[in-house]
Structure 1
Amino acid sequence: MTDLLVDIGNTRLKWRLQQQGAVHRSGAILVRDLNMAQLQAILPEAAGAMYWASVGDDAQGLCVAAWAHEKNIPCHQITTQDCWQDLTNGYQQTQQLGVDRWLAMVAARQHTRNAVCVVDCGSAITLDYVSAQGHHEGSYIIPGARLMSQALARDTAQINITHRALENIHPGTSTAQAVLAGCFQMAHYGVCALVREAQGQGYEILLCGGDGLAIANELGVTYVEQLVLDGMAQLAGLHQL
Protein backbone atom coordinates (compact mmCIF):
# COMPACT_ATOMS: atom_id res chain seq x y z
CA MET A 1 0.00 0.00 0.00
CA THR A 2 1.13 3.54 -0.74
CA ASP A 3 1.26 5.84 2.29
CA LEU A 4 1.33 9.62 2.49
CA LEU A 5 3.25 11.19 5.38
CA VAL A 6 2.70 14.86 6.27
CA ASP A 7 4.69 16.92 8.79
CA ILE A 8 3.29 20.39 9.50
CA GLY A 9 6.05 22.50 11.00
CA ASN A 10 6.23 26.12 12.09
CA THR A 11 7.46 27.31 8.68
CA ARG A 12 6.94 24.50 6.18
CA LEU A 13 4.67 21.55 5.52
CA LYS A 14 6.80 18.59 4.41
CA TRP A 15 5.32 15.50 2.80
CA ARG A 16 6.38 12.31 1.12
CA LEU A 17 4.67 9.41 -0.64
CA GLN A 18 6.17 6.01 0.03
CA GLN A 19 5.48 2.34 -0.56
CA GLN A 20 7.07 -0.37 1.58
CA GLY A 21 9.75 2.04 2.71
CA ALA A 22 10.65 3.29 -0.77
CA VAL A 23 10.07 7.03 -1.24
CA HIS A 24 8.30 7.78 -4.53
CA ARG A 25 7.79 11.55 -4.26
CA SER A 26 8.26 14.30 -1.71
CA GLY A 27 7.83 18.05 -1.40
CA ALA A 28 7.16 21.04 0.83
CA ILE A 29 5.22 24.29 0.96
CA LEU A 30 5.24 27.24 3.33
CA VAL A 31 2.53 26.95 5.98
CA ARG A 32 1.50 30.52 5.32
CA ASP A 33 0.23 29.20 1.96
CA LEU A 34 -1.63 26.29 3.55
CA ASN A 35 -5.17 26.03 2.19
CA MET A 36 -7.27 23.49 0.34
CA ALA A 37 -6.27 24.83 -3.06
CA GLN A 38 -2.57 24.47 -2.23
CA LEU A 39 -3.08 20.94 -0.92
CA GLN A 40 -5.04 20.04 -4.04
CA ALA A 41 -2.13 21.25 -6.13
CA ILE A 42 0.74 19.48 -4.34
CA LEU A 43 -0.42 16.43 -2.39
CA PRO A 44 -0.65 13.15 -4.30
CA GLU A 45 -4.09 11.56 -4.24
CA ALA A 46 -2.84 8.01 -4.89
CA ALA A 47 -2.46 7.09 -1.22
CA GLY A 48 -4.03 4.23 0.66
CA ALA A 49 -3.60 6.05 3.98
CA MET A 50 -2.31 9.34 5.32
CA TYR A 51 -0.36 9.90 8.54
CA TRP A 52 0.15 13.44 9.74
CA ALA A 53 1.61 15.38 12.65
CA SER A 54 1.58 19.09 13.39
CA VAL A 55 3.20 21.63 15.66
CA GLY A 56 1.16 24.38 13.98
CA ASP A 57 -2.24 25.69 14.95
CA ASP A 58 -5.36 23.54 14.88
CA ALA A 59 -6.63 25.09 11.64
CA GLN A 60 -3.64 23.76 9.70
CA GLY A 61 -4.18 20.22 10.89
CA LEU A 62 -7.91 20.44 10.23
CA CYS A 63 -7.18 21.61 6.69
CA VAL A 64 -4.95 18.60 6.00
CA ALA A 65 -7.49 16.22 7.56
CA ALA A 66 -10.29 17.78 5.50
CA TRP A 67 -8.27 17.25 2.31
CA ALA A 68 -7.83 13.56 3.16
CA HIS A 69 -11.53 13.20 3.97
CA GLU A 70 -12.46 14.78 0.64
CA LYS A 71 -10.21 12.28 -1.16
CA ASN A 72 -11.57 9.34 0.89
CA ILE A 73 -8.10 8.62 2.25
CA PRO A 74 -8.01 7.13 5.79
CA CYS A 75 -6.33 9.70 8.01
CA HIS A 76 -4.27 9.07 11.16
CA GLN A 77 -2.91 11.83 13.38
CA ILE A 78 0.40 11.14 15.14
CA THR A 79 0.92 12.78 18.54
CA THR A 80 3.60 12.78 21.22
CA GLN A 81 3.62 9.70 23.43
CA ASP A 82 4.84 8.77 26.91
CA CYS A 83 7.00 6.06 25.38
CA TRP A 84 7.61 4.04 22.23
CA GLN A 85 9.45 0.74 22.43
CA ASP A 86 12.42 1.55 24.71
CA LEU A 87 12.28 5.33 24.11
CA THR A 88 10.73 7.26 27.01
CA ASN A 89 9.57 10.86 27.03
CA GLY A 90 11.45 12.91 29.61
CA TYR A 91 9.00 15.81 29.84
CA GLN A 92 6.93 16.13 32.99
CA GLN A 93 3.90 16.92 30.79
CA THR A 94 4.18 14.61 27.81
CA GLN A 95 2.24 16.66 25.27
CA GLN A 96 4.41 19.75 25.82
CA LEU A 97 7.15 18.00 23.87
CA GLY A 98 6.67 18.91 20.21
CA VAL A 99 5.61 15.94 18.12
CA ASP A 100 8.26 16.75 15.51
CA ARG A 101 10.98 16.41 18.15
CA TRP A 102 9.44 13.18 19.45
CA LEU A 103 9.40 11.70 15.95
CA ALA A 104 13.00 12.80 15.35
CA MET A 105 14.00 10.94 18.52
CA VAL A 106 12.05 7.85 17.41
CA ALA A 107 14.03 7.89 14.16
CA ALA A 108 17.32 8.61 15.92
CA ARG A 109 16.78 5.59 18.17
CA GLN A 110 16.70 3.43 15.05
CA HIS A 111 19.88 5.01 13.67
CA THR A 112 21.93 4.38 16.80
CA ARG A 113 21.66 2.65 20.17
CA ASN A 114 24.31 4.96 21.60
CA ALA A 115 23.53 8.06 23.60
CA VAL A 116 22.46 10.61 21.00
CA CYS A 117 21.82 14.34 20.76
CA VAL A 118 19.20 15.18 18.13
CA VAL A 119 19.62 18.70 16.76
CA ASP A 120 16.84 20.23 14.65
CA CYS A 121 17.85 23.51 13.02
CA GLY A 122 14.55 24.95 11.87
CA SER A 123 12.62 28.11 12.78
CA ALA A 124 13.61 27.29 16.32
CA ILE A 125 16.73 25.26 17.12
CA THR A 126 16.14 22.32 19.43
CA LEU A 127 18.55 19.88 21.00
CA ASP A 128 17.18 16.72 22.61
CA TYR A 129 19.39 14.35 24.58
CA VAL A 130 18.64 10.63 24.69
CA SER A 131 20.61 8.15 26.81
CA ALA A 132 21.87 4.80 25.51
CA GLN A 133 18.99 3.23 27.43
CA GLY A 134 16.47 5.34 25.49
CA HIS A 135 15.55 7.87 28.17
CA HIS A 136 14.95 11.43 26.97
CA GLU A 137 17.12 13.39 29.39
CA GLY A 138 16.08 16.92 28.47
CA SER A 139 16.29 19.64 25.87
CA TYR A 140 17.51 23.04 24.83
CA ILE A 141 15.35 25.34 22.70
CA ILE A 142 16.81 28.51 21.20
CA PRO A 143 15.48 30.82 18.49
CA GLY A 144 16.85 30.39 15.00
CA ALA A 145 18.45 33.30 13.17
CA ARG A 146 15.20 34.29 11.47
CA LEU A 147 13.24 34.40 14.75
CA MET A 148 15.96 36.41 16.45
CA SER A 149 16.07 38.97 13.66
CA GLN A 150 12.26 39.20 13.60
CA ALA A 151 12.19 39.88 17.34
CA LEU A 152 14.87 42.56 17.04
CA ALA A 153 13.06 44.24 14.14
CA ARG A 154 9.75 44.17 15.99
CA ASP A 155 11.07 45.64 19.23
CA THR A 156 13.60 48.13 17.85
CA ALA A 157 12.79 51.30 15.93
CA GLN A 158 14.05 52.01 12.41
CA ILE A 159 15.08 48.48 11.51
CA ASN A 160 13.60 47.31 8.23
CA ILE A 161 14.62 43.75 7.43
CA THR A 162 13.83 41.85 4.26
CA HIS A 163 14.50 38.23 5.07
CA ARG A 164 16.59 36.52 2.47
CA ALA A 165 19.43 34.05 2.34
CA LEU A 166 22.71 35.54 3.50
CA GLU A 167 25.38 35.74 0.83
CA ASN A 168 28.03 35.65 3.56
CA ILE A 169 28.27 35.89 7.33
CA HIS A 170 30.70 38.82 7.50
CA PRO A 171 29.79 41.94 9.50
CA GLY A 172 27.05 43.89 7.74
CA THR A 173 27.44 47.32 6.14
CA SER A 174 23.84 48.33 6.87
CA THR A 175 21.65 47.88 9.92
CA ALA A 176 19.56 45.18 8.24
CA GLN A 177 22.66 43.28 7.11
CA ALA A 178 24.21 43.63 10.56
CA VAL A 179 21.10 42.21 12.23
CA LEU A 180 20.86 39.27 9.84
CA ALA A 181 24.57 38.46 10.03
CA GLY A 182 24.65 38.89 13.82
CA CYS A 183 21.64 36.65 14.41
CA PHE A 184 23.05 34.04 12.04
CA GLN A 185 26.35 34.05 13.91
CA MET A 186 24.63 33.79 17.30
CA ALA A 187 22.56 30.81 16.19
CA HIS A 188 25.44 29.16 14.36
CA TYR A 189 28.02 29.43 17.11
CA GLY A 190 25.48 28.56 19.79
CA VAL A 191 24.61 25.29 18.05
CA CYS A 192 28.24 24.46 17.32
CA ALA A 193 29.23 25.02 20.96
CA LEU A 194 26.40 22.84 22.28
CA VAL A 195 27.17 20.10 19.74
CA ARG A 196 30.83 20.04 20.71
CA GLU A 197 29.87 19.93 24.38
CA ALA A 198 27.53 16.99 23.72
CA GLN A 199 30.26 15.18 21.81
CA GLY A 200 32.61 15.69 24.74
CA GLN A 201 29.99 14.08 26.98
CA GLY A 202 29.84 11.01 24.74
CA TYR A 203 26.71 11.74 22.68
CA GLU A 204 26.47 10.80 19.04
CA ILE A 205 25.07 13.70 16.99
CA LEU A 206 22.22 13.64 14.47
CA LEU A 207 21.22 16.88 12.74
CA CYS A 208 18.09 17.68 10.74
CA GLY A 209 16.20 20.82 9.68
CA GLY A 210 16.70 23.32 6.90
CA ASP A 211 19.73 25.03 8.47
CA GLY A 212 21.34 21.85 9.77
CA LEU A 213 23.28 20.68 6.72
CA ALA A 214 25.88 23.45 6.79
CA ILE A 215 26.56 22.84 10.49
CA ALA A 216 26.74 19.07 9.95
CA ASN A 217 29.28 19.57 7.17
CA GLU A 218 31.34 21.96 9.26
CA LEU A 219 31.45 19.66 12.28
CA GLY A 220 31.65 16.38 10.38
CA VAL A 221 28.51 14.90 11.96
CA THR A 222 25.53 13.08 10.47
CA TYR A 223 22.70 14.98 8.78
CA VAL A 224 19.39 13.24 8.01
CA GLU A 225 17.15 15.43 5.87
CA GLN A 226 13.81 13.75 6.63
CA LEU A 227 14.42 12.54 10.17
CA VAL A 228 10.94 13.58 11.36
CA LEU A 229 9.19 11.77 8.50
CA ASP A 230 11.44 8.75 9.10
CA GLY A 231 10.23 8.70 12.70
CA MET A 232 6.61 8.99 11.59
CA ALA A 233 7.02 6.04 9.25
CA GLN A 234 8.72 4.04 11.98
CA LEU A 235 6.08 4.81 14.59
CA ALA A 236 3.28 3.96 12.15
CA GLY A 237 4.94 0.64 11.38
CA LEU A 238 5.40 1.42 7.70
CA HIS A 239 9.03 0.36 7.32
CA GLN A 240 12.26 -0.30 9.14
CA LEU A 241 15.00 2.32 8.90
Structure 2
Amino acid sequence: MTDLLIDCGNTRLKWRLQEQGVVQRSGVMLVRDVNLTQLQACLPDKVGVLYWASVAVVKIGLCLEAWAQQKNISCHQMTTQHQWQDLRNGYEQPQQLGVDRWLAMIAARQHTRRAVCVVDCGSAITFDYVSAEGQHEGSYIMPGARLMGQALVRDTAQINVIHAVVDSTEPGTATGPAALAGCQQMVHYGVGGLVKDAQALGYEILLCGGDAMAIAEELDLPYLEELVLDGLARVAGLVKH
Protein backbone atom coordinates (compact mmCIF):
# COMPACT_ATOMS: atom_id res chain seq x y z
CA MET A 1 0.00 0.00 0.00
CA THR A 2 1.34 3.42 -0.95
CA ASP A 3 0.49 6.27 1.40
CA LEU A 4 0.76 9.96 0.51
CA LEU A 5 1.32 12.37 3.41
CA ILE A 6 0.76 16.10 2.92
CA ASP A 7 1.61 18.93 5.31
CA CYS A 8 0.24 22.24 4.02
CA GLY A 9 1.55 25.30 5.82
CA ASN A 10 0.99 28.97 5.15
CA THR A 11 3.79 29.16 2.61
CA ARG A 12 4.77 25.66 1.50
CA LEU A 13 3.05 22.35 0.84
CA LYS A 14 5.30 19.39 1.63
CA TRP A 15 4.48 15.84 0.57
CA ARG A 16 5.99 12.40 1.14
CA LEU A 17 5.14 9.07 -0.49
CA GLN A 18 5.62 5.97 1.64
CA GLU A 19 5.19 2.30 0.81
CA GLN A 20 4.90 -0.01 3.82
CA GLY A 21 6.62 2.70 5.84
CA VAL A 22 9.55 3.14 3.47
CA VAL A 23 9.91 6.63 2.03
CA GLN A 24 9.86 6.50 -1.77
CA ARG A 25 9.65 10.13 -2.90
CA SER A 26 9.03 13.59 -1.49
CA GLY A 27 8.53 17.12 -2.73
CA VAL A 28 7.61 20.72 -2.00
CA MET A 29 5.47 23.34 -3.72
CA LEU A 30 4.46 26.87 -2.84
CA VAL A 31 0.94 27.18 -1.44
CA ARG A 32 0.25 30.13 -3.74
CA ASP A 33 0.77 27.79 -6.72
CA VAL A 34 -1.60 25.07 -5.50
CA ASN A 35 -4.51 24.29 -7.83
CA LEU A 36 -5.94 21.11 -9.26
CA THR A 37 -3.78 21.25 -12.38
CA GLN A 38 -0.61 21.78 -10.34
CA LEU A 39 -1.47 18.90 -8.01
CA GLN A 40 -2.03 16.61 -10.97
CA ALA A 41 1.34 17.61 -12.39
CA CYS A 42 3.39 17.42 -9.19
CA LEU A 43 1.92 14.73 -6.93
CA PRO A 44 2.56 11.00 -7.46
CA ASP A 45 0.09 9.05 -9.61
CA LYS A 46 0.10 5.72 -7.79
CA VAL A 47 -1.33 6.43 -4.35
CA GLY A 48 -3.50 4.19 -2.20
CA VAL A 49 -4.42 6.54 0.65
CA LEU A 50 -3.98 10.29 1.23
CA TYR A 51 -3.44 11.65 4.75
CA TRP A 52 -3.28 15.42 4.97
CA ALA A 53 -3.16 18.28 7.44
CA SER A 54 -3.36 21.98 6.68
CA VAL A 55 -3.21 25.37 8.34
CA ALA A 56 -3.68 27.11 4.97
CA VAL A 57 -6.91 28.64 3.67
CA VAL A 58 -9.90 26.32 3.28
CA LYS A 59 -9.72 26.25 -0.52
CA ILE A 60 -6.40 24.37 -0.34
CA GLY A 61 -8.04 21.51 1.53
CA LEU A 62 -10.93 21.49 -0.93
CA CYS A 63 -8.42 21.29 -3.76
CA LEU A 64 -6.65 18.31 -2.15
CA GLU A 65 -9.96 16.53 -1.63
CA ALA A 66 -10.96 17.20 -5.24
CA TRP A 67 -7.62 15.76 -6.45
CA ALA A 68 -8.11 12.63 -4.31
CA GLN A 69 -11.70 12.20 -5.52
CA GLN A 70 -10.60 12.53 -9.14
CA LYS A 71 -7.94 9.84 -8.54
CA ASN A 72 -10.40 7.68 -6.57
CA ILE A 73 -8.06 7.80 -3.58
CA SER A 74 -9.19 7.37 0.02
CA CYS A 75 -8.66 10.74 1.73
CA HIS A 76 -8.24 11.47 5.46
CA GLN A 77 -7.77 14.90 7.02
CA MET A 78 -5.91 15.03 10.33
CA THR A 79 -6.93 17.67 12.87
CA THR A 80 -5.76 18.75 16.32
CA GLN A 81 -6.94 16.49 19.13
CA HIS A 82 -7.44 16.89 22.86
CA GLN A 83 -5.04 13.99 23.46
CA TRP A 84 -2.94 11.49 21.51
CA GLN A 85 -1.49 8.64 23.53
CA ASP A 86 0.23 10.39 26.48
CA LEU A 87 0.44 13.81 24.81
CA ARG A 88 -2.21 16.17 26.19
CA ASN A 89 -3.18 19.41 24.48
CA GLY A 90 -2.73 22.36 26.83
CA TYR A 91 -5.05 24.81 25.04
CA GLU A 92 -8.40 25.60 26.64
CA GLN A 93 -9.91 25.17 23.17
CA PRO A 94 -7.79 22.36 21.64
CA GLN A 95 -8.77 23.10 18.02
CA GLN A 96 -7.16 26.56 18.28
CA LEU A 97 -3.76 24.88 18.36
CA GLY A 98 -2.47 24.60 14.80
CA VAL A 99 -2.49 21.02 13.55
CA ASP A 100 1.07 21.37 12.25
CA ARG A 101 2.29 22.21 15.75
CA TRP A 102 0.24 19.38 17.26
CA LEU A 103 1.74 16.86 14.82
CA ALA A 104 5.24 18.21 15.46
CA MET A 105 4.77 17.64 19.20
CA ILE A 106 3.56 14.09 18.54
CA ALA A 107 6.72 13.41 16.54
CA ALA A 108 8.87 15.10 19.19
CA ARG A 109 7.56 12.64 21.79
CA GLN A 110 8.98 9.85 19.64
CA HIS A 111 12.42 11.53 19.62
CA THR A 112 12.66 12.16 23.35
CA ARG A 113 10.77 11.39 26.54
CA ARG A 114 12.37 14.36 28.27
CA ALA A 115 10.72 17.76 28.57
CA VAL A 116 10.94 19.23 25.07
CA CYS A 117 10.44 22.60 23.42
CA VAL A 118 9.44 22.37 19.74
CA VAL A 119 10.45 25.47 17.78
CA ASP A 120 8.82 25.82 14.36
CA CYS A 121 10.32 28.62 12.26
CA GLY A 122 8.02 29.29 9.33
CA SER A 123 5.92 32.30 8.34
CA ALA A 124 5.30 32.56 12.07
CA ILE A 125 7.68 31.28 14.74
CA THR A 126 6.16 29.11 17.43
CA PHE A 127 7.49 27.64 20.66
CA ASP A 128 5.54 24.74 22.20
CA TYR A 129 6.58 23.38 25.58
CA VAL A 130 5.86 19.76 26.56
CA SER A 131 6.64 18.24 29.94
CA ALA A 132 8.35 14.88 30.35
CA GLU A 133 4.92 13.48 31.24
CA GLY A 134 3.45 14.65 27.93
CA GLN A 135 1.54 17.74 29.09
CA HIS A 136 1.57 20.60 26.61
CA GLU A 137 2.34 23.55 28.86
CA GLY A 138 1.71 26.44 26.49
CA SER A 139 3.16 28.35 23.56
CA TYR A 140 4.77 31.48 22.26
CA ILE A 141 3.88 32.78 18.78
CA MET A 142 5.76 35.56 17.03
CA PRO A 143 6.05 36.78 13.43
CA GLY A 144 8.91 35.51 11.30
CA ALA A 145 11.27 37.92 9.53
CA ARG A 146 9.21 37.90 6.33
CA LEU A 147 5.97 38.81 8.15
CA MET A 148 7.72 41.57 10.07
CA GLY A 149 9.10 42.94 6.82
CA GLN A 150 5.66 42.84 5.22
CA ALA A 151 4.21 44.76 8.18
CA LEU A 152 6.85 47.47 7.77
CA VAL A 153 6.11 47.79 4.06
CA ARG A 154 2.37 47.91 4.68
CA ASP A 155 2.29 50.28 7.63
CA THR A 156 5.31 52.56 7.07
CA ALA A 157 5.80 54.97 4.21
CA GLN A 158 8.81 54.77 1.86
CA ILE A 159 10.17 51.41 3.01
CA ASN A 160 10.74 48.72 0.40
CA VAL A 161 12.40 45.48 1.48
CA ILE A 162 11.25 43.40 -1.49
CA HIS A 163 14.51 43.68 -3.43
CA ALA A 164 16.84 44.13 -0.49
CA VAL A 165 19.65 41.59 -0.12
CA VAL A 166 21.57 41.96 3.12
CA ASP A 167 24.06 40.41 5.47
CA SER A 168 21.85 40.25 8.54
CA THR A 169 24.88 40.46 10.84
CA GLU A 170 25.62 44.03 9.70
CA PRO A 171 23.52 47.21 9.94
CA GLY A 172 21.96 48.24 6.64
CA THR A 173 23.18 51.33 4.75
CA ALA A 174 19.80 52.06 3.14
CA THR A 175 16.26 51.96 4.50
CA GLY A 176 15.20 48.69 2.84
CA PRO A 177 18.27 46.66 3.82
CA ALA A 178 18.24 48.21 7.30
CA ALA A 179 14.63 47.14 7.83
CA LEU A 180 15.28 43.62 6.56
CA ALA A 181 18.42 43.25 8.66
CA GLY A 182 16.50 44.51 11.68
CA CYS A 183 13.76 41.93 11.18
CA GLN A 184 16.31 39.15 10.84
CA GLN A 185 18.11 40.31 13.98
CA MET A 186 14.79 40.34 15.87
CA VAL A 187 14.25 36.72 14.88
CA HIS A 188 17.85 35.75 15.69
CA TYR A 189 17.88 37.25 19.17
CA GLY A 190 14.25 36.45 19.94
CA VAL A 191 14.62 32.77 19.11
CA GLY A 192 18.07 32.54 20.66
CA GLY A 193 16.93 34.12 23.93
CA LEU A 194 13.88 31.90 24.31
CA VAL A 195 15.94 28.82 23.44
CA LYS A 196 18.48 29.64 26.15
CA ASP A 197 15.69 30.21 28.68
CA ALA A 198 14.11 26.86 27.78
CA GLN A 199 17.43 25.05 28.04
CA ALA A 200 18.05 26.59 31.45
CA LEU A 201 14.71 25.13 32.56
CA GLY A 202 15.73 21.66 31.34
CA TYR A 203 13.90 21.47 28.00
CA GLU A 204 15.44 19.65 25.07
CA ILE A 205 15.14 21.77 21.90
CA LEU A 206 13.93 20.49 18.51
CA LEU A 207 13.70 22.83 15.52
CA CYS A 208 11.63 22.48 12.37
CA GLY A 209 10.21 24.74 9.67
CA GLY A 210 11.54 26.31 6.51
CA ASP A 211 13.62 29.01 8.24
CA ALA A 212 14.95 26.85 11.07
CA MET A 213 18.03 25.30 9.45
CA ALA A 214 20.19 28.41 9.72
CA ILE A 215 19.09 28.98 13.31
CA ALA A 216 19.83 25.33 14.18
CA GLU A 217 23.34 25.66 12.73
CA GLU A 218 24.00 28.90 14.62
CA LEU A 219 22.80 27.47 17.94
CA ASP A 220 24.14 23.93 17.36
CA LEU A 221 20.69 22.39 17.76
CA PRO A 222 18.97 19.47 15.98
CA TYR A 223 16.98 20.41 12.88
CA LEU A 224 14.25 17.93 11.91
CA GLU A 225 13.00 19.00 8.49
CA GLU A 226 10.02 16.63 8.32
CA LEU A 227 8.89 16.67 11.95
CA VAL A 228 5.29 17.52 11.01
CA LEU A 229 5.13 14.76 8.38
CA ASP A 230 6.63 12.34 10.91
CA GLY A 231 3.83 13.23 13.34
CA LEU A 232 1.27 12.85 10.58
CA ALA A 233 2.61 9.36 9.84
CA ARG A 234 2.35 8.46 13.53
CA VAL A 235 -1.27 9.56 13.82
CA ALA A 236 -2.11 7.71 10.58
CA GLY A 237 -0.59 4.54 12.04
CA LEU A 238 2.28 4.48 9.56
CA VAL A 239 5.95 3.96 10.33
CA LYS A 240 8.77 5.69 8.45
CA HIS A 241 11.91 3.64 7.65
Which TM class, normalised by the smaller chain length? over 0.9
The question of whether the paired residues in 2 share the 8 Å contact of 1:108 and 1:206 is answered with: yes
- The normalised TM-score by structure 1 is 0.97
Alignment match, 2:22: 22
In the alignment, structure 1 residue 236 sits paired with structure 2 residue 213: no
Distance 1:164 1:92, change over 3 A: farther
The question of whether the paired residues in 2 share the 8 Å contact of 1:35 and 1:63 is answered with: yes
SS in 2 for 1:222: coil
Q: Sequence identity of aligned pairs in percent?
A: 69
Matched AA of 1:56: A
- The normalised TM-score by structure 2 is 0.97
Alignment match, 1:131: 131
Query: In structure 2, how many angstroms separate the alpha carbons of the residues matched to 1:93 and 1:56?
Result: 19
Distance 1:168 1:21, change over 3 A: same
Q: How does 1:63-74 map to 2 (within 5 A)?
A: 63-74=63-74
Query: In structure 1, how many angstroms separate the alpha carbons of the residues matched to 2:187 and 2:69?
Result: 40
Matched AA of 1:200: A
CA-CA distance at 1:19 after TM superposition:
1.5
CA-CA distance at 1:214 after TM superposition:
1.3
Alignment match, 2:158: 158
Alignment match, 1:55: 55
Query: In structure 2, how many angstroms separate the alpha carbons of the residues matched to 1:62 and 1:98?
Result: 18
Matched AA of 1:17: L
Unaligned 5+ segments in structure 2 are: none
- TM-align CA RMSD: 1.3
Q: How does 1:72-221 map to 2 (within 5 A)?
A: 72-162=72-162, 166-221=166-221
CA-CA distance at 1:182 after TM superposition:
0.4
Distance 1:163 1:125, change over 3 A: farther
Alignment match, 1:43: 43
CA-CA distance at 1:20 after TM superposition:
2.3
CA-CA distance at 1:45 after TM superposition:
1.6
Matched AA of 1:57: V
The question of whether the paired residues in 2 share the 8 Å contact of 1:4 and 1:16 is answered with: yes
Query: In structure 2, how many angstroms separate the alpha carbons of the residues matched to 1:91 and 1:233?
Result: 23
CA-CA distance at 1:161 after TM superposition:
2.2
- After superposing on structure 2, the runs of 4+ consecutive aligned residues of structure 1 that deviate more than 3 Å are 163-169
